[in-house]
Structures are given as C-alpha cells and as structure tokens.
Structure 1
Amino acid sequence: MFSKFAYTIFTESIDKYHEKDDVDQEFNNPYPKGDIEHLLYRKNWIDTVQWHYEDIIRDPNIQPKTALQLKRKIDASNQDRTDLVEYIDSYFLKKYQSVTIRENATINTESPAWAIDRLSILALKIYHMREEVNRLDASSEHIRTCKAKLEVLLEQKKDLSAAIDQLLHDIEGGKKYMKVYKQMKMYNDEELNPILRGQK
C-alpha cells in the first residue's frame, strides 16, 4: 500500500533530522532524483525543519530581527512545501495517465499529494507526541494526557492511510479522476503582491 510506503520514508526522514536536531544542518537526500522516494523524503524534510522553525519563533524572548529572519524562512519553506506537493501530484498524473475514466467517475475533494502532505505532518505529530509520552521530567498527568492524544493520532493515521490507499485504488480503476489546480500563491509573486510590486 502506498500510504505505508510513504509513511516509512517520512519516519526515516524524521529520525535522520533528529540525529542532529538542528534546523541549519545539511540536507542529504538518500534517494535518486526523479524517484518518488526522493520527492517524499524531501517533502517530509521540509515539513520537519519547518516544524522546528515554528517552535523557535514562539520563543517569547526571541529578538525581533531574528524573528523576522525566521518568518522569511518559514515563508520560503511554505513555498517549497507547495512545490513539492505539486511535483508529487505530477508523479500520480503521469502514473495514471493511461487509465480509462469511467462515465460516472467523480473527483475527490483533494488530490493524492495533498492527502499525503497531511500524512507527512501526521508523522511529525506522532513522533513528537511520543516524545512527550516518554519524557522523564514530565508529570504523570502530562504523560497520561499525551498518551490519550497519541492514541487519537494513531487512529487518525490508520484512517488517513486507508483513505489515501482507497483514493489511489479508485483512480487506478477509473472510478475517480485527478484534476490538479496549482496553488497560485500570490504573496511571493512580485507581480501579484502589491507590496512587492511597489518596491520594484
């Protein structure tokens, strides 16, 4: 099942990041360019680094200049994340391009890659919630609360994985079809963002 395959790569990326646990560490993708594994690993690495950017920027003692620099990094990361999702959807469009679409086929509310994007974020939530469950310095109440949250996250993983695999199965069988809309982010575009346009 594709969801299990993707989740394994996500956890590999998360584990590798946490060997150093440093947002500025060098990124090395172990998978060849052009392979879906390469895209999935890169996608989760972006999510993992951004997760920690979001932690850092919430430091109440962060200096304004540092916070602004970090906000710029988060913006760039969001753009990279969107680009990667679109690359992953391109992979599925190519994979299923020869499928005969049934007359009564329907479109899904989101594309396969955006569902996989949610699975990548969910892998991060599970990793960090499990960390909280295993904290030695936390109160028993904290651990109990986090265990309950972890159980919900694991159930969500099961449901989301099943939904992703069902969607791909339906696309492969022509029961659903893909129609991908580019995100058309406006805030990074010098022609679409009036603030950036005015600085040209």
Structure 2
Amino acid sequence: MKMHVQELKLADLIQAFDRLITFWHSDPADYRSEPGELNPIALELGWRNYSLWHEEDKARRTDVDDSMIAQVKRNIDGFNQQRNDLIEKLDEAILAWLTPKVDFDKDLPINSETPGSIVDRIFIMSLKVYHMHEDTLRDDIDDAHRSRSQQKLATLREQRADLEQALHRLLDDYLAGNRKMKLYRQFKMYNDPTLNPELYRQTGA
C-alpha cells in the first residue's frame, strides 16, 4: 500500500465506500457511526452523494404532487452544492498535505481532473455498483435481463478499479514532481442569489 494514501486516509477507497453504502442502506441513526479508517472529508462527500442519489430517485416519481417534486429539486440543489464544496475542501486538504513536500512553483503539467474529483467519481461508481448488484438479485426479471445487469456490473467494477489506480498514480506524480496540483473552483451560480438572474431580479440584489 502506498504511504501517501495511508497518510491521507484514502487507502482502500473501494472497500471503504462499499462498506459505507451497505451501512447507510440499513438506515442508521447517525451516518458517521460506521467504524472504519477513512478521510473525514471523503466520508462527508460520500454521504452527500448518497443523499443526492436517493433524492434524484424521488424526482422521477409520477405518483406525487408537483409540490413534493419541487421540494425534492431544491434538496437536490442543496446536496449538489454541498458535494461540490466538499470536493474543493478535499482538494484543499490534499494540497496542504503536498505543499511542504513538493515544489509546485516549477513549470509542470497540470492534470485535468483533481484528486477530489476522482474520489467523488469513485463513490458515485460505488453507488452504481451497489444498485446494479441489487438488480442482478431481483426475482422478477428474466435471464436475459439478469445477464445484461451482470455484464454492466462487471464493467462498473472494472471502471471503478481504474479510477482508484488513477488516483494513486496522480498522487505519485505529484510527490515525484512530475505534475503540479492546482485548485479549481466551481463557482456554482444557481444557488447564489447574487449571481442567479432568476433570483437577483426578484430581490433587486
């Protein structure tokens, strides 16, 4: 195991995320009470993604009033904003950890995706793995459906493993001085009443 992922508490992300998702589906009283060694920002990021996933499921319902869907949409906006904030927060923590170890003032190539974004994608892929595996266990599908879901599940697992390896390689490149880490800000505008024209036109901000 690479020392950097151990120090950052980002080791064995796939196993950690699988364990968390199973635990959260048991409807615990506190989402933070699952035992395990995981970066606390990554845990919070995972929880927001978990919450966002299930709100998006609710948004597809057709048997409820439009007022409920409107509230669900606002919940989705809130979770998505928190998710993006946590990606940036995780990147800030990783950069703070790297800065004493690496000279980032040199002219080095920059990766198009940050470590925080990769961690985010690994968790989303873990949600897909969990729910696709659920689909393979259904007793109301035929063999053709089950076979398609099993093939998709294998692909999802392979892609997720590729992402985890990519995260490790990127951190190795940073530490070796082969790449420069740089923070990228999302500047989400839709939740900001001073930037969303549909909001500031109402308030005159």
Question: Is TM-score (shorter-chain normalized) higher than 0.5?
Answer: yes
User: Following superposition of structure 1 onto structure 2, how do residues 174-185 of structure 1 map, counting pairs within 5 Å?
Assistant: 174-185=177-188
| Paired AA for residue 163 in structure 2 | L
Supply the distance in 2 between the matched residues of 1:75 and 1:43 (Cα, whole angstroms): 15
Supply the distance in 2 between the matched residues of 1:128 and 1:139 (Cα, whole angstroms): 18
CA 63–150 in structure 1, closer or farther in 2 if over 3 Å, else same? same
Supply the distance in 1 between the matched residues of 2:187 and 2:48 (Cα, whole angstroms): 19
| Paired AA for residue 113 in structure 1 | G
Supply the distance in 1 between the matched residues of 2:114 and 2:39 (Cα, whole angstroms): 18
CA offsets, 1:151-183, max 9 Å, x none? 111110121111111001101111111111210
What corresponds to 1:126 in structure 2?
129
SS of residue matched to 2:12 = helix
CA offsets, 1:178-199, max 9 Å, x none? 1112100111111111121122
CA shift for structure 1 position 104:
5.6
Identity of aligned residues (%): 34
| Paired AA for residue 130 in structure 1 | H
What corresponds to 2:82 in structure 1?
80
What corresponds to 1:55 in structure 2?
57
| Paired AA for residue 193 in structure 1 | N
Supply the distance in 2 between the matched residues of 1:127 and 1:183 (Cα, whole angstroms): 28
Query: Out of 19, 33, 44, which is 2:26 matched to?
Result: 19
CA shift for structure 1 position 12:
2.6
What corresponds to 2:195 in structure 1?
192
Q: Given the two structures, how large is their TM-score scaled by the length of structure 2?
A: 0.87
Supply the distance in 2 between the matched residues of 1:187 and 1:102 (Cα, whole angstroms): 34
What corresponds to 2:13 in structure 1?
6
Query: Out of 46, 49, 54, which is 1:44 matched to?
Result: 46
Q: Given the two structures, how large is their TM-score scaled by the length of structure 1?
A: 0.89
Aligned pairs, number: 194
| Paired AA for residue 39 in structure 1 | I
SS of residue matched to 1:198 = helix
| Paired AA for residue 57 in structure 1 | A
Contact 1:104 1:175 in 2 (8 A): no
Contact 2:13 2:164 in 1 (8 A): no
Contact 1:101 1:175 in 2 (8 A): no
Supply the distance in 2 between the matched residues of 1:4 and 1:149 (Cα, whole angstroms): 26
User: Where in structure 1 are there 5+ consecutive unaligned residues?
Assistant: none
Supply the distance in 1 between the matched residues of 2:29 and 2:48 (Cα, whole angstroms): 12
CA 196–102 in structure 1, closer or farther in 2 if over 3 Å, else same? closer
Contact 1:30 1:38 in 2 (8 A): no
Q: CA RMSD in A?
A: 2.1
